[in-house]
């Protein structure tokens, strides 16, 4: 059990059966009345951010997240198969569990899965991935004075804004946190 006065940024706690991570906290002691802890917490599963206040003597159970390095193998009928790189155990996840990570997931890519009480609640990708452009409009010479961009579709089906000089078949580095183009690879 963790006392609310011991809250720190990044700490994970369990509230109402859900796993929440503390994004920001502030100990408030008003001139009149009792002190309290104002927090901004994020649901690890859904990503929802909520502001909540706690009494200083309130205790929360700590949520112990386990992380495992897994390798993405393949997709079969909407189920995505991952293999633990140490034990070679395989685990299947749904499209809903993976969320936006599907936009950047390539076969044989190593990712980190976060589990809570044996249930996968999150996936962490590398900060950037290299993907090949499969579709984009052709470049038009002389149309680059304003830093214009165009849409390009990469091998995972994700569409990203890229500079005009990018062509079909080019490899691009894309930031997995924001989904933005970084550079040609």
Q: Residues 143, 96: one domain?
A: no
pLDDT the model gives residue 51: 92
pLDDT the model gives residue 143: 60
CB 82 within 8 A of CB 33: no
CATH number of the domain encompassing residue 137 = 2.40.50.140
In this predicted model, what pLDDT tens digit does every residue of 61-103 receive, in sequence order?
888 888 889 999 988 888 889 998 888 888 888 888 887 888 8
Average pLDDT rounded to a whole number, residues 148-164 = 87
pLDDT at 47 > cutoff 80: no
Domain's final residue, options 60, 91, 110: 60
Q: Residues 48, 83: one domain?
A: no
Mode of pairing for the β-strands spanning 36-43 and 18-28: antiparallel
pLDDT the model gives residue 140: 67
pLDDT at 146 > cutoff 80: no
What residues contact residue 28 under an 8 Å CB cut-off, 6+ apart? 35, 36, 37, 38
CATH number of the domain encompassing residue 12 = 2.30.30.30
Q: Residues 151, 115: one domain?
A: no
pLDDT the model gives residue 71: 92
The CA distance from 117 to 66, in Å, is: 9
Q: Residues 74, 56: one domain?
A: no
Domain's final residue, options 124, 150, 167: 124
The CA distance from 133 to 139, in Å, is: 14
Domain's final residue, options 38, 60, 82: 60
Closest of 101, 79, 103 to residue 91, by C-alpha: 79
Domain extent for 132: 128-184
Q: Residues 56, 79: one domain?
A: no
The total number of structural domains that make up the chain: 3
pLDDT the model gives residue 122: 80
pLDDT the model gives residue 40: 92
pLDDT-above-90 percentage for the chain: 8
pTM value > 0.85: no
- CA gyration radius for the chain? 22
């Amino acid at each position: 059990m963790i006392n609310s006065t011991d809250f720190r940024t990044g700490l994970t706690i369990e509230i109402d059966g859900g796993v929440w991570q503390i994004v920001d906290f502030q100990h408030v002691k008003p001139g009149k009345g009792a002190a309290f802890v104002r927090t901004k917490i994020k649901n690890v599963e859904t990503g929802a951010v909520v502001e909540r206040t706690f009494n200083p003597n309130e205790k929360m159970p700590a949520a112990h997240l386990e992380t495992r390095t897994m390798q993405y193998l393949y997709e079969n009928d909407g189920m995505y198969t991952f293999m633990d790189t140490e034990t070679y155990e395989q685990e299947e996840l749904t499209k809903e569990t993976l969320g936006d990570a599907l936009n950047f997931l390539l076969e044989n890519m190593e990712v980190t899965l976060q589990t809570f009480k044996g249930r996968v609640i999150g996936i962490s990708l590398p900060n950037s991935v290299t993907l090949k452009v499969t579709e984009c409009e052709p470049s038009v010479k002389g149309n680059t004075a304003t830093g214009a961009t165009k849409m390009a579709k990469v091998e995972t089906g994700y569409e990203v804004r890229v500079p005009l000089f990018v062509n079909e078949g080019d490899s691009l580095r894309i930031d997995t946190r924001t989904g933005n183009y970084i550079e040609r690879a």
